[in-house]
Homo-oligomer: A and B are copies of this chain.
Amino acid sequence: MDTANTAPASPERRRYDVDSLLDVAVSVFIAQGYDGTSMGDLAKAARLSKSSLYHHVDSKEHLLRLALDRAVDPLFAITQEPGSLQGSAIDRLEFVVRRMVEVLVERLPFVTLLLRIRGNTDTERWALDQRREFDRFMTQLVAEAAVEGEVRTDIDPALTTRLVFGMVNSLVEWYVPDRRRRANETAKLADAVLKIAFTGLRATRP
């Protein structure tokens, strides 16, 4: 970001500007699609002139990358947390799924954008690669838990990953965060996902 010609701004102030811009950009990308959005549309939605917008970002693809980072960074941060690195594979697996629900709720529009990406530009292809890498991380955990005898062995680990991620990711289609009691709501949601995914709907096993 080139700030050479602007009045001095504190890092906090500049950070706030980019965050606000990304909030606007992500909602326009989701509403119109990335391909269907122009820099003019983004400037209008952000109430900026196009030249002011170009002052903040180099291009529409640069803005997409910054927005996608807001989803990809916290998702990959999960893989480095102690809960993902220590303990039995089944415990690590449950930890990852719970943290995914939390990141989805916390970064809902950014994760929604990540899930809608199709792959026409380098940045979109990069995002799809990141999703595939996260899938492989999860698949590896499922396979380890199966070897440890904690996860059923009659479903292919890659298929398990797709189905469980399908359930988790579906939250972006209907979940409306309640800011007043977010932490409690998120915990309840994560509990429901974990119960269904790990022990199933049935009251007793048949």
Task: Mark A residues whose CB is within 8 Å of B.
Answer: 33, 36, 90, 93, 142, 145-146, 149-156, 159-160, 162-171, 173-174, 189, 192-193, 195-206
Contact = CB atoms under 8 A, between A and B. Distances in A.
Nearest to A189: B159
B192 A159 contact: yes
Contacts of A174: 162
A114 B134 CA distance: 28
A-B pairs with lowest CB-CB distance, top 6: A166-B170, A200-B200, A199-B200, A167-B167, A155-B192, A166-B167
Given A163-B167, A169-B170, A170-B162, A201 B192 contact: no
B199 A160 contact: no
A128 to B, nearest CB: 12
Contact of A205 (B90, B193, B199): B199
A166 B162 contact: no
Contacts of A199: 199-200, 202, 205-206
A202 B166 contact: no
A200 B206 contact: no
A173 B163 contact: no
A201 B170 contact: no
A28 to B, nearest CB: 15
A27 to B, nearest CB: 14
Contact of A163 (B145, B149, B156, B193): B193
A158 to B, nearest CB: 10
Contacts of A166: 166-171, 173
